[in-house]
Chains A and B, each alone.
Chain A
Amino acid sequence: GESVGLHLPTLSVQEGDNSIINCAYSNSASDYFIWYKQESGKGPQFIIDIRSNMDKRQGQRVTVLLNKTVKHLSLQIAATQPGDSAVYFCAEFAQNTGTASKLTFGTGTRLQVTL
């Protein structure tokens, strides 16, 4: 299949280990953040989100941490599986009155799970 990102930063993790993917965002006014997973040839798939009034949120095998002081997000994946191999994007959302409510995406990180 066609690769989503040929020149993205790559994180290689052994199956069963935990993965941590980091993201720096740019807009201090952003009030909502989303992590998306994108497999080759597919559109981005929603994983987990967090609002700016929170610093941690947990889902099934995934945790998102938000540090507003340094404008940093991280996605932690527990017990990484081969099916987790994909490109991961963080996206920030700022509600702008009268203008588009758009997502601004980071550059993405490729996660490779080795057996």
Chain B
Amino acid sequence: DAGVTQSPTHLIKTRGQHVTLRCSPISGHKSVSWYQQVLGQGPQFIFQYYEKEERGRGNFPDRFSARQFPNYSSELNVNALLLGDSALYLCASSSDYGADTQYFGPGTRLTVL
């Protein structure tokens, strides 16, 4: 079975632009979480989605939004990009809401110039 997949692998944007990142969870997993990992730090929680509903949000501005589709895949959107948004964006899937073990994808490396 395929693991968590993310696209694109790398992305370069300029300040003020908008970006959409995509994630497909492990087959059968219904919950998707998004994390931001800045170089030199551990991943920081952004969102959790389950059954197309947002179940939680970390300490990120409203420029960050996400959604989950009926097939449980998910998109993370970031508007009005800032230099500080440059990071590795990780998607993790788990079998259910409240399921503790989360499996991570390879991430999307976003560079904002």
Contacts and interface: CB of A to CB of B under 8 A. Distances in A.
Contact of A102 (B4, B39, B56): B56
A61 interface: no
A99 interface: yes
Interface stretch (B60-68, B71-79, B95-103): B95-103
B33 interface: yes
Contacts of A108: 41-42
Given A43-B107, A106-B42, A32 B100 contact: yes
Nearest to B99: A101
Contacts, number: 79
A5 B101 CA distance: 23
A6 B40 contact: yes
Contact of B98 (A36, A46, A95): A95
A102 B48 contact: yes
B104 A100 contact: no
Interface residues of A, number: 32
Contacts of B105: 43
B40 A100 contact: no
A100 to B, nearest CB: 2
Contacts of B52: none
A70 B40 CA distance: 26
29 contacts: A3-B39, A5-B40, A5-B41, A6-B39, A7-B40, A32-B100, A34-B100, A34-B101, A34-B102, A36-B104, A41-B106, A42-B107, A43-B105, A43-B107, A46-B104, A49-B100, A95-B100, A99-B56, A100-B33, A100-B45, A101-B48, A102-B33, A102-B48, A102-B56, A102-B58, A103-B33, A103-B43, A105-B44, A107-B41
Given A101-B56, A107-B42, 12 more contacts: A5-B39, A5-B41, A44-B43, A45-B104, A46-B103, A89-B42, A95-B98, A95-B100, A100-B45, A100-B48, A100-B55, A100-B58
